[in-house]
């Protein structure tokens, strides 16, 4: 059996990865997750009782817990992070702690893990900073511009340094904006879909012309599986969907899919330091045989449909969780 440790596996992308990992009949998966506000056991409900899956609740910053888990692993896929840019602008401490220090704790354990053959550091295209034109290549300078992006850049380079210095078999992946089922309703797509479903305004930042490159979460996980087998240690790989869409256009598409009027669009003051555009050159990954399989139009429609048919998943967060309501008030109340 191949022992796989997935951190942050109760989150949006991690839970998709755990499901696809379990399709490998010779993989045994341990999910380590703290279950922060963004981590939810519901995301793993189909696999919680799976005979080759074990869930461990805990913090990646805890060396006593992390040590033995990493020691037993052949593959580590490290998703666990604080992930929302707006929250990092409100308060950055948890981002530094989990995204940077937590990565350090895992890497330290990885140095002495006897069977480890792959440590995948899940980074992000945000480490490149805003890209006014052209496409970021893996060798480009990193210019992160918000606390989330900077903490991810720190972890990205720390992971690389553990390969260069200690020979830990690190691969760094930098994915673009993911979308799909089970994304926490603070991010643009799920927030706007669920607000629109309820006839509430959708708060579009600034002039709405910021561009993101959308990647379906299943395409992301397929790329990770390929890189686990065929990537080269010490290398960085961009993973981008190639779907560059300005936020205002995406918002109109969402409203049309939910069958709501464009008058729900509420222009609100811009996010401070808002990166204008991200765009990835993915030729390095494509040369290994990957290309995205989910067309954006179909993927977006299916995602909207998922939120429509899974209100049980998001209503308790948006309506029942006082922490979400106070976050929403802090973030949008004064706008
Ligand atoms: P998410 O916020 O949905 O999930 C994060 C998970 O990490 C949650 O389950 C949470 O409980 C867990 N976690 C947080 N702090 C922890 C800690 N200290 N110890 C253990 N677990 C902890 O995030 P996501 O969107 O699934 O992102 C996963 C990874 O992918 C992150 O590293 C993120 O930076 C990266 N990424 C995300 C995107 C995107 O568009 N969502 C794009 C590129 C890269
Ligand atoms: P988001 O989903 O937060 O992802 P990221 O900041 O990691 O790219 O935001 C996607 C884009 O949508 C980004 O340009 C900011 C914008 N946005 C809004 O206009 N309004 C919102 O309420 C949110 C959450 C995001």
pLDDT in tens, 227-237: 999 999 999 99
DSSP 125: G
Q: Is 177 in the pocket of ligand 2 (CB under 6 A)?
A: yes
Looking at the domain that runs over 2-178+215-239, which CATH code has it been given?
3.40.50.720
Ligand whose nearest atom lies closest to the CA of 220 = 1
Any idea where the domains of the chain sit in the sequence? Answer: 2-178+215-239, 180-212+243-276+295-320
Let me know: does 5 contact 77? Beta carbons within 8 Å: yes
Q: Does domain 180-212+243-276+295-320 have CATH number 1.10.730.10?
A: no
What is the spatial distance between Cα 284 and Cα 174, in angstroms, rounded to a whole number? 12
| Mean of pLDDT values over 241-245 | 98
Nearest-CA residue for atom 11 of ligand 2: 188
Ligand number nearest to the C-alpha of 179: 1
Give every CB contact of residue 276 below 8 A, 6+ residues apart in sequence: 130, 132, 209, 210, 211
Whole-number Å distance between alpha carbons of 296 and 284: 21
Q: Is 191 in the pocket of ligand 2 (CB under 6 A)?
A: yes
- The pLDDT of residue 150 is 98
Query: Are β-strands 75-78 and 118-124 bridged in parallel, bridged antiparallel, or unpaired?
Result: parallel
Q: 53-71: per-residue pLDDT in tens?
A: 999 999 999 999 999 999 9
Task: Check residue 28 and report its DSSP letter.
Answer: E
**Joined tokens for residue 142:** 């990193």
Average pLDDT over residues 316-328: 95
pLDDT at 334 over 80: no
Residue 82 CA to ligand 1 centre (angstroms) = 6
pLDDT of residue 50: 98
Specify the pLDDT at position 214.
98
Pocket test for ligand 2, best of 174, 205, 208 (most atoms within 8 A of CB): 205
Confidence (pLDDT) at 183? 98
Distance CA 55, CA 254 (A): 35
Asked whether residue 335 carries a pLDDT value surpassing 80, the answer given is: no
Could you tell me the sign of the dihedral formed by the alpha carbons of 326, 328, 331, 334, in that order? negative
The CB of 210 under 6 Å from ligand 2? The reply is: yes
Catalytic residues: 125-126, 148
Is the separation of the CB atoms in 11 and 41 below 8 Å?
no
pLDDT at residue 244 in the model = 98
Q: Side-chain half-sphere of 179: how many Cα atoms within 13 Å?
A: 32
CB 208 within 8 A of CB 274: no
Tell how far CA 320 is from the center of its chain: 24
CA of 269 relative to ligand 2 center, distance in Å: 13
Helix (H, G, I), strand (E, B) or coil at 32: strand
Give the percent of the chain with pLDDT over 70. 100
Residue 203 pLDDT more than 90? yes
Alpha helices in the chain (DSSP H): 12-21, 63-71, 85-90, 93-95, 103-111, 147-166, 188-197, 217-230, 247-258, 283-286, 296-309, 311-315, 322-332
What pLDDT score does 314 carry? 98
Q: Which ligand is nearest to the CA of 41?
A: 1
Q: What are the tokens at 76? A: 């580590």
- The SS3 call for residue 67 is helix
Arithmetic mean of pLDDT, 9-27:
98
Instruction: Enter the tokens of residue 306.
Output: 């998922």
Q: How far apart are CA 234 and CA 230, in angstroms?
A: 13
Name the average pLDDT for the chain.
Answer: 98
For residue 287, the model assigns a pLDDT of: 98
d(CA 32, CA 6): 6
Q: Is 16 in the pocket of ligand 2 (CB under 6 A)?
A: no
Measured CA to CA, the distance from residue 11 to residue 14 in angstroms comes to 5
pLDDT tens digits for 68-125? 999 999 999 999 999 999 999 999 999 999 999 999 999 999 999 999 999 999 999 9
How many Å apart are CA 238 and CA 176, to the nearest integer?
8
How far apart, in Å, do the first and last CA atoms of the chain sit?
53
| Confidence grade of residue 272 (pLDDT, cut at 50, 70, 90) | very high
Residue 18, C-beta contacts closer than 8 angstroms, at least 6 positions apart: 6, 9, 29, 31, 44, 47, 53
């Amino acid at each position: 059996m191949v022992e796989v440790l997935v951190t942050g596996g109760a989150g949006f992308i991690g839970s998709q990865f755990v499901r696809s990992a379990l399709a490998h009949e010779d993989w045994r998966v341990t999910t380590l997750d703290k279950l922060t506000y963004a981590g939810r056991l519901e995301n793993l409900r189909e696999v919680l009782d799976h005979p080759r899956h074990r869930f461990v609740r805990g913090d990646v910053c805890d060396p006593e817990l992390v040590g033995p888990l990493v020691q037993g692993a052949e593959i580590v896929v490290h998703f666990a992070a604080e992930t929302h840019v707006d929250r990092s602008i409100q308060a950055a401490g948890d981002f530094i702690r989990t995204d940077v220090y937590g990565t350090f704790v895992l890497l330290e354990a990885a140095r002495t893990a006897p069977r480890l053959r792959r440590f995948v550091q899940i980074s992000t295209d945000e480490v490149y900073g805003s890209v006014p034109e052209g496409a970021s290549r893996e060798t480009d300078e990193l210019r992160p511009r918000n606390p989330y992006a900077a903490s991810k850049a720190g972890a990205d380079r720390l992971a690389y340094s553990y390969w260069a210095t200690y020979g830990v078999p690190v691969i760094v992946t930098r994915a673009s904006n993911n979308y799909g089922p089970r994304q926490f309703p603070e991010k643009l797509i799920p927030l706007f879909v669920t607000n629109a479903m309820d006839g509430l305004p959708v708060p579009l930042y600034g002039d709405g012309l910021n561009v993101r490159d959308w990647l379906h979460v299943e395409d992301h996980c397929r790329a990770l599986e390929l890189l686990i087998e065929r990537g080269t240690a010490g290398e960085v790989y961009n993973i981008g969907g190639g779907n560059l869409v300005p936020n205002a256009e995406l918002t109109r598409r969402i409203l049309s899919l939910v069958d709501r009027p464009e008058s729900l669009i509420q222009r609100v003051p811009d996010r401070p330091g808002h990166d204008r555009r991200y765009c990835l050159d993915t030729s390095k990954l494509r040369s290994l045989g990957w290309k995205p399989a989910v067309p954006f139009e179909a993927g977006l429609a299916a995602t909207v449909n998922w939120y429509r048919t899974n209100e049980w998943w998001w209503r308790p967060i948006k309506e029942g969780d006082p922490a979400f309501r106070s976050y929403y008030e802090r973030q949008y109340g004064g706008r």
